[in-house]
Structure 1
Amino acid sequence: MKIVVVGAAGMVGSRVVTEAVSRGHDLVAVFRTQRPADLPSGVTAVEGEATDTDHMSRLFKDADAIVAATRPAPGHEDTAVPTTTALLDAAAAAGARILVVGGAAPLRIPGHPDRLVLESPDYVPRQFRTLAAASAAQLDVCRAHPADWVYLSPPALLEPGQRTGAYRRGTTTLIADADGTSRISAEDLAVAVLDELENPGGDQHFTVGHQADG
């Protein structure tokens, strides 16, 4: 499978590249700046801006799947929507499926189906509310777009860790332990991304999380 990863230098994107290479896929890694020194061998590195729709659509040509793993810099959360829109436009022009790695904000709170994670200070501290709101708007953009897309919402806590290969999958409700903890390692999120690309689950919006025992 030929996979193009946009945002390949980021926490999620870099791990998606590593996971995809380990499974034998043909990888094109898109970076805003020069190629990192630790890029796995065999990966084609390309510089490019995610908002350059023409350039992205050329990169996406003949791709089996695209992973949009971009994340706005602090203070630039307003770029999330136009960036996602540009990538959706490029994917649609190329006729390729795109998986957008978004945020937990648009998920429902367990036990409270009428409330979004975005509305909970327990999951979204004040300093992260702008970023969370951007991810909710990002999903709205996907829903209104004709591209062949799927949106992955990580749990509330996403950080580097170990690759266990184990996770729970859900749809539009946050996956959390009994004590409210909602987490996954970036490595296992990458596992979930590749699992979805290889064997689509049929849900346009889905989420994943670690089991209570790790």
Structure 2
Amino acid sequence: MKIAIFGATGMAGSAITDEAVRRGHQALAASRHPREDASPHVESRAVDVADIDSVAAALGDADAVVVAVRPAPGQESTLPALTRNVLDAARIHDVRVVVVGGSAPLWSPTMPGHRVFDDPGYIPAAWRTIAQASLDQFTACQQHPHERWTYVSPPALFEPGPRTGHYERGTDTLLVDERGASRISAADFAIAIVDELEDPGEDNHFTVATLSSDNETMENRA
């Protein structure tokens, strides 16, 4: 499978690119500043996601697309429009899109009827700008005419860390362990993304997390 990954130099995008190659896929690593990669399975390309023609050209022979774009501080509000550009191009080529989103659109496990965006226990004031952008990004996906998209929400804490090969898949409610922690490493999140690309589930919005050893976890093609 050839997978176009937009935002391939960010934390999520880099991990997803590496995981895709690890599993034998071809990766088109697209970003403003291309990766320097010696792997013959990675094609690095400079792509401005704000330029729809540039995005469409990158998808010419792709089998699937991952949107892992994160705007610079102060430009968070551009995220929905950037995502729409990829969806527009994907619709032209009839390509499936997996969007690496945020946890804000998930339902809170502690405040019934409220999204994580409204739960200060998971979204402190300092994170609300990017959280609002993620919420708007999710709405942009829901309203877009291209129906072949999946929005994947990471847990509350998404960080660098080891590849354990374990994660649990949920639906549209934030996953937490018995201590209320909600986290995953970028490497384990990348496993979940490539799993979804290889074997798509039925939900167009789901979340994943690595829970503590007191909870059952699921190993997925580690």
TM class by shorter chain equals over 0.9
* Cα distance, 1:113 vs structure 2: 3.2
Answer yes or no: is the 8 Å Cα contact 1:51–1:87 preserved in 2.
no
Answer yes or no: is the 8 Å Cα contact 2:155–2:207 preserved in 1.
yes
Which residue number corresponds to residue 14 of structure 2? 14
Residue 28 (structure 1) aligned with residue 28 (structure 2): yes
Residue 197 (structure 1) aligned with residue 197 (structure 2): yes
TM-score normalised according to structure 2 size: 0.92
| Equivalent runs, 1:67-82 vs 2, <5 Å | 67-82=66-81
Which residue number corresponds to residue 2 of structure 1? 2
Query: Partners in 2 of 1:181 and 1:128 — Cα distance?
Result: 17
* Cα distance, 1:112 vs structure 2: 3.3
Aligned residues: 213
Which residue number corresponds to residue 151 of structure 1? 151
The letter of the residue matching 1:167 is Y
Which residue number corresponds to residue 91 of structure 1? 90
Rate the CA distance shift 1:59–1:37 in 2: closer, same or farther, 3 A: closer
Query: Partners in 2 of 1:162 and 1:208 — Cα distance?
Result: 16
Answer yes or no: is the 8 Å Cα contact 2:19–2:194 preserved in 1.
yes
Query: Partners in 2 of 1:192 and 1:63 — Cα distance?
Result: 20
Runs of 4+ in 1 over 2 A off after TM superposition: 35-42
Secondary structure of 2:203's match?
coil
Rate the CA distance shift 1:66–1:52 in 2: closer, same or farther, 3 A: same
Q: Deviations over 1:151-174 (max 9, x none)?
A: 000000000001011100011000
**Superposition RMSD in Å:** 1.3
Answer yes or no: is the 8 Å Cα contact 1:18–1:40 preserved in 2.
no
The letter of the residue matching 2:193 is V
Which residue number corresponds to residue 140 of structure 1? 139
Query: Partners in 2 of 1:160 and 1:57 — Cα distance?
Result: 31
Which residue number corresponds to residue 220 of structure 2? none
Which residue number corresponds to residue 125 of structure 1? 124
Query: Partners in 2 of 1:116 and 1:79 — Cα distance?
Result: 22
Query: Partners in 2 of 1:48 and 1:65 — Cα distance?
Result: 16
* Cα distance, 1:41 vs structure 2: 4.0
Answer yes or no: is the 8 Å Cα contact 1:102–1:152 preserved in 2.
yes
Residue 168 (structure 1) aligned with residue 186 (structure 2): no
* Cα distance, 1:178 vs structure 2: 1.7
Query: Partners in 2 of 1:185 and 1:41 — Cα distance?
Result: 26
**Unpaired runs of 5+ in structure 2?**
218-222
The letter of the residue matching 1:156 is A
- Percent identical across equivalent pairs? 48
Secondary structure of 1:180's match?
coil
Answer yes or no: is the 8 Å Cα contact 2:37–2:44 preserved in 1.
no
Which residue number corresponds to residue 115 of structure 2? 116
Q: Deviations over 1:77-105 (max 9, x none)?
A: 11111111111111111110000000000
* Cα distance, 1:61 vs structure 2: 1.8
Query: Partners in 1 of 2:39 and 2:189 — Cα distance?
Result: 19
Secondary structure of 2:166's match?
coil
Secondary structure of 2:44's match?
strand
Query: Partners in 2 of 1:38 and 1:44 — Cα distance?
Result: 8
* Cα distance, 1:39 vs structure 2: 5.7
